[in-house]
Structures are given as C-alpha cells and as structure tokens.
Amino acid sequence: MRLVLLGAPGAGKGTQGALIAERRGFPRIVTGELLRAAVREGTELGRQAARYMDAGELVPDDVILGLIREVLTGESDADEGFVLDGFPRTLAQAKALHPLLRGLDHELDAVAVIDVPEDVLIKRLTGRRTCSRCGKIYNIYFDPPAVLDECDVCGGELTQRKDDDPATVRRRLEVYREQTEPLIEYYRTTGTPVVTVDGNRSIASVEDSIERALAS
Ligand code: AP5
C-alpha cells in the first residue's frame, strides 16, 4: 500500500501516519520531520527551509522535490509500501510525484484525507507538545502528559514547535486552503482512490475509519 495522507495542519496526519506505518511495517516519509531535522543539524537545506517554516509558508517546490527524490530512491524498505505525510502539498509536487514513482516501478494506491473543523485544528496545534527525547506527541487540551512538560514514556522534556504559535498557525491554515486542499480534487480527477474520514473523533476511531476505508 502506497498511501498519501492529506489534511490541514493539526488534522492528525502525524498521529495516524505513525499508527498506519507501525501496523503495516512500512516506512513513513514525513517532509516536515525531515526539514526539522535539517534545521536542528544546521545543514544548508535546514538554513534554506527554516525561514519559510517559521513564517508558516511552504518551502519552495524545487527544494522539497530534491529532498523527496533522495529519500524515495534511498528508502530500500519502500518496495512493500510507504506512507507519505506532508507531501505532496502543492499541485507541482503532486504532478512531480507520478513520474518519480513510475521510475521506481511504484504507483500510488490511495489518498486518505483527514477532515477536521478549523476551531479544533487551532486548539490541537497551539496545544501540541512533543517529547524532545522520543518524539511522542501530546496535547495539553486533549491528551496531556501525567506530569506537566514531561514525557510519560521516557521522562524527556516536552517542547512546543516554533510554528505552533497562534499567528503562524493561522497562516499555515490559510496556506493549506490555498495550496494543498486543491489536491483533493486533483487526485479525484487522476483516478487515484481518495477516501475522506472525519478526523474530529478519538484517535482510535479515526484510525479505525481509515483502516476500514482503505480496505473497501
Ligand atoms: P508539517 O510538519 O508537515 O506540519 P503540518 O502539515 O502543518 O502538520 P502538523 O504536523 O502540524 O499536524 P498533523 O496533521 O501531523 O497533526 P498531528 O498528528 O501532529 O510541516 C511543517 C512545515 O514544514 C510546513 O509549514 C512547511 O513550511 C514545511 N513543509 C513540510 N512539508 C512540506 C512540503 N511538502 N512542501 C513545502 N513545505 C513543506 O496532531 C496535532 C495535534 O493534535 C497533536 O497534539 C495530537 O496529539 C493531536 N491530535 C491528533 N489527532 C487527534 C484526535 N483524533 N483527537 C484529539 N487530538 C488529536
């Protein structure tokens, strides 16, 4: 199964992508995480990407396409399937993905859209905290840790993403509506199966809906 997860910032792509990938033993390719790692390591890519990410804007297509090409061609486990989370995000990226996958003898099997109302998205993003040690994601409103700012699993410190402040969140949501949401219609016209699930329910219910939609 080669799957693209689509949804606004905060829709739960990271949460569900991790569950799907773990259950199926697939690699999960998350452009946002790859970019954040490059920023942390201070690479040239990270320096280029940081100013766009901090402003809630998209990193330019040529930069992202270079990154995704490198990851997909170097990902030896991807032959059985993969989950793409955060890519594609523009029409140009979606159009470039087809020949890239064809060159690797792969094809996209499905696109899963996670739909969540905007007021919920804002709470999810501004309330999100991530463990700096093991990467587990919490939410201070919906899924708080037992001890404030401390990971339940490994005791690591919980931190807030730089782009999760309210003003940047508003811009990220605008960018999603303008540049990424049109991909839903694009995939419908290309014949790739598109399933939409209501993401405003418990993590387990959303997971169950995605699995059932993909199986049908
Ligand atoms: P990226 O890291 O991809 O961020 P995003 O799309 O804005 O998505 P998020 O990670 O914020 O949300 P999510 O949908 O994964 O939700 P999550 O599961 O974490 O991108 C960051 C930046 O990188 C972009 O702004 C851009 O600059 C750049 N970038 C990345 N890819 C790019 C590309 N292809 N092209 C150009 N630029 C690119 O959940 C959020 C919160 O909600 C958590 O606290 C979680 O616990 C909670 N939650 C999740 N599900 C539920 C639920 N069912 N009920 C209650 N709470 C829930």
Residues 181, 25: Cα–Cα separation, whole Å: 28
Q: What was the pLDDT predicted at 51?
A: 94
Distance CA 125, CA 139 (A): 8
* Dist. CA 114–CA 129, nearest whole Å: 20
Query: What confidence category does residue 194 fall into, taking pLDDT thresholds of 50, 70 and 90?
Result: very high
Token pair in block for residue 142: 């919906």
Phi-psi region of 138 (alpha: psi -120 to 50; beta: other; left: phi over 0): beta
3-state secondary structure 126-175: HCEEEECCCCCEEECCCECCCECCECCCCCCEEECCHHHCHHHHHHHHHH
pLDDT bin (cut points 50, 70, 90) of residue 62 is very high
Task: Give the separation between CA 120 and CA 204, rounded to whole angstroms.
Answer: 17
27 CB within 6 A, ligand 1 = no
More confident of the two residues 104 and 132: 132
The percent of residues in the chain predicted with pLDDT above 70, rounded, is 99
pLDDT band at 216; cut points 50, 70, 90? confident
Give the Cα separation of 101 and 119 in Å (integer). 36
Least-confidence region, from 68-82, 103-117, 168-182: 68-82
Residue having the nearest C-alpha atom to atom 53 of ligand 1: 203
Ligand 1: which atom is nearest the Cα of residue 201? 53
Q: What number is the average pLDDT over the span 199-208?
A: 96
| Ligand 1 atom with minimal separation from the 200 CA | 53
Atom of ligand 1 nearest to the CA of 88: 34
Q: Which of 161, 170, 171, 201 is catalytic?
A: 161
CA angle 100, 103, 106 (to 5 degrees): 85
- In this predicted structure, what is the pLDDT of residue 195? 96
pLDDT of residue 79: 75
Residue 161 a catalytic site member = yes
Residue whose CA is at the smallest distance from ligand 1 atom 43 = 128
172 is annotated as an active-site residue: yes
Nearest to 84 by CA among 23, 163, 6: 6
pTM above 0.75, yes or no: yes
pLDDT digits (tens, 9 = 90+) for 147-185: 999 999 999 999 999 999 999 999 999 999 999 999 999
* Contacts (Cβ under 8 Å, ≥6 apart) of 16: 5, 112, 114, 203, 206, 207, 210
C-beta 209 within 6 A of ligand 1: no
Nearest alpha carbon, ligand 1 atom 41: 124
What is the mean predicted confidence (pLDDT) over 94-117?
93
Give the per-residue pLDDT at 80: 79
DSSP letter, residue 200 = S
Give the whole-number percent of the chain exceeding pLDDT 90. 84
Q: How confident is the model at residue 76 (pLDDT cuts 50, 70, 90)?
A: low
What ranges in the chain are assigned the alpha helix state H?
13-24, 31-41, 44-54, 61-74, 91-103, 118-126, 166-175, 182-190, 203-215
